[in-house]
Amino acid sequence: MFNLFSLKDLLKLIISFKKYDIVIDTEEYFRISAFMSMRLGKINVWFNNIPLRWLAYNAWIKYNDEQHSVLTCLDLIKAIWINYKIPAWLEPLRYTDKNTKQVDEFLNWLEYSKIICMHTGLAETVKERAWPKNKRVELIQKVIDKDRKAKIVLSGTRWEYDSVQNTIVSLPKKYHNNVINICWIFNLFWFAYLLEKCDVMVSNDTGPMHLAAAMWTKTIGLFWPNLPMRFWPYPLDKNISLYKWNGKAYINVHLWKFEEDIDFNIEKIEIEDVLETIEF
């Protein structure tokens, strides 16, 4: 791994010319990874969906946007004449006993009947992917009304702490003891183990949704405008994608193309839709 903000790693990059036999670039769109792949690898593999960028590579394959991104990334190895078997699940993040001890202490303190994680954050593209705050607040109330011993943890980065706290403050006080802001409390490994212990994960279309699915937690993904067929929480036999629109791809990250449609948005996903999938 190279940290381009580190002088030591920059020097390492400079002296590592053609050090690796094969470099596979999984970025869907133009990034500095194109330069790094060209410099580091004797054989450079990438998708050929952006004009001219393929000139930096000597092995490439078509980006198939009609399938899940897991399979699309695996397609890259076909460029070096390797076939693969479709995976039944994602590889879970490995954690240590030290990680489990910290999280177990937290869970013992909670005293819950079931624990539900809700992630309200987003990736850097298309902020319209966020399910509205008023619907999140009402969903939390309905979940707790169904089970007064249920605990809801709201996850996010340190930059999302205030917005998550604002969600909690928006709840009537009788619900406050059932909702915990865990933004920036857990590192990645602690968070992975916590997700494994959760009964359900409800998330916008973003990274923690996929992490929850990889930890084999039942995951409910809230989608728009990404097509779930490309990015639903994998595998679908355990997880659920909720979306309500005409099925057209309004966001094509691999082509860096984004459209808007005033008739369709994530607000069309109703509270009852999510509540039913949680299954009390």
Per-residue pLDDT of the chain (280 residues; tens, 9 = 90+): 667 677 887 787 778 888 889 989 888 877 777 778 888 889 889 888 777 776 778 888 889 988 999 999 999 999 999 999 999 989 999 998 888 998 999 999 888 899 999 998 876 666 778 899 999 999 999 999 999 999 999 999 888 899 999 999 999 999 999 999 999 888 999 999 999 999 999 999 999 999 999 999 999 999 888 888 899 999 877 899 998 877 777 788 788 787 776 667 888 899 999 999 997 6
Which architecture characterizes domain 97-278 according to CATH?
A: 3-Layer(aba) Sandwich (3.40)
Q: How far is CA 68 from CA 36, 43, 64, 75, 230, in A?
A: 26, 25, 9, 11, 4
Q: Are 188 and 149 in contact (CB under 8 A)?
A: no
Cβ(164)–Cβ(120) under 8 Å? yes
Question: 0.85 exceeded by the pTM?
Answer: yes
Q: Are 172 and 141 in contact (CB under 8 A)?
A: yes
Of 92, 44, 40, 86, the closest CA to residue 67 belongs to 86
Q: How many CA atoms lie within 13 A of 199 on its CB side?
A: 13
pLDDT for 247: 73
Domain ranges of the chain: 7-80, 97-278
